Chain A
Amino acid sequence: MNIFRLCGDMTHLLSVVVLLLKIHTIKSCAGISLKTQELYALVFATRYLDIFTHHVSLYNTVMKIIFLGTSFTIVWYMRHHKVVRQTYDKEQDTFKHYMLIIPCFALALLIKTKFTPLEVLWTFSIYLEAVAIFPQLVLLQRTKNIDNLTGNYVFLLGAYRGLYLLNWIVRYFTEKGYRQWITWISGIVQTALYADFFYYYIKCWRNNEKLHLPS
């Protein structure tokens, strides 16, 4: 495991910590898309089906359990916690799940490496993760005052994807025969979705302004 992979995972973990901090400590999920969080829960649930059958390392197993547990915890908070659920911007978070789930599943049936249930679901999860941030980006654009925790949460998620790209470049040059086209192309698409957000995040940060996206 190279430094970029480790930093990527830690950034991903930190993004979850930031989001949980907002939800659990401040008791607010304002500006957070439940649609995106539900899609992430679905991503982890379909990708980590191999958790007990395909052991890579203790590190991987522990991280998988953390991501599964936290993603469902976040969804639970936003849907059921009596205080948190009242801060959810339901009217603004209008993106439809099926508009992302159905095309991703169709694509997973068409483009995958093996036609087995586990393999198709794993591929589906890769495609779905690439676009799962979409409802969140739409919601951010509609939000007038994006608070720091929400802005930082999305920034950390984007940074995690960028670091994974660097990790793949290192692996390509250091591991003989290493290639994974489905993951790479999905990863590039996923990182590209953050480009616009990054541009405004850095611009506002440099100007010492509160983060706002043009509508």
Chain B
Amino acid sequence: TNDADVKDEL
């Protein structure tokens, strides 16, 4: 996982 993949928060 890198920063770009974590977009599940608002």
> Contact residues of A with B, CB < 8 Å?
5, 9, 12, 50, 54, 56-57, 60, 63-64, 67, 113-114, 119, 122, 164, 167, 177-183
Contact = CB atoms under 8 A, between A and B. Distances in A.
Contact of B7 (A56, A164, A181): A56
A8 B9 CA distance: 11
Interface in B1-10: 1-4, 6-10
A113 B5 CA distance: 10
Contacts, number: 33
Contact of A114 (B4, B6, B9, B10): B4
Nearest to A57: B8
Given A177-B1, A178-B1, A183 B10 contact: no
A183 B6 contact: yes
A62 B8 CA distance: 13
A61 to B, nearest CB: 10
Contacts of A5: 9
A9 B3 contact: no
B7 A54 contact: yes
Cβ-closest 4 pairs across A and B = A113-B4, A113-B3, A180-B6, A177-B1
